[in-house]
Amino acid sequence: MELVYGVLFLAVGVIGIMVSLLGSRNPQRPRWASDFVVGSVILPLVIGALVMGVSFLIMAILNLDQLSLGFRELMAMAGIIAATLVACKTMRIKKRLAEYAASADMRA
């Protein structure tokens, strides 16, 4: 089960990074994307999720002999990874960042 938790925490961290990147690069910044909120609230939570994910994965690898990896766990991890990839594709990160850069260039 540690592998599932590790993948879940890593997925939450990656999605958190993507959302905060889009919010902080947006020329019309939302209120939640201010420098204070991103630096003091969002990034520590994202970094904590990434560290927890890595620590769960390391713990699972170290306890490989006691690992009970069944069909449910494999399907849960595959679902989490698939949902993360779909969420990242749906956010259209590259396109939005290019639009934000073009918008900022036009204002300057």
Higher-confidence residue: 67 or 3?
Answer: 3
Could you give the CA distance from residue 26 to residue 103 in angstroms, rounded to a whole number?
9
Confidence at residue 90, expressed as pLDDT on a 0 to 100 scale: 95
Confidence at residue 78, expressed as pLDDT on a 0 to 100 scale: 95
Place of tokens 């994965």: 57
Confidence at residue 108, expressed as pLDDT on a 0 to 100 scale: 61
User: 67 pLDDT exceeds 80?
Assistant: no
For residue 49 the two structure tokens come to: 């999720």
User: 107 pLDDT exceeds 80?
Assistant: no
Full domain range(s) for residue 12: 2-107
pTM: 0.86
User: 41 pLDDT exceeds 80?
Assistant: yes
Number of domain units in the chain: 1
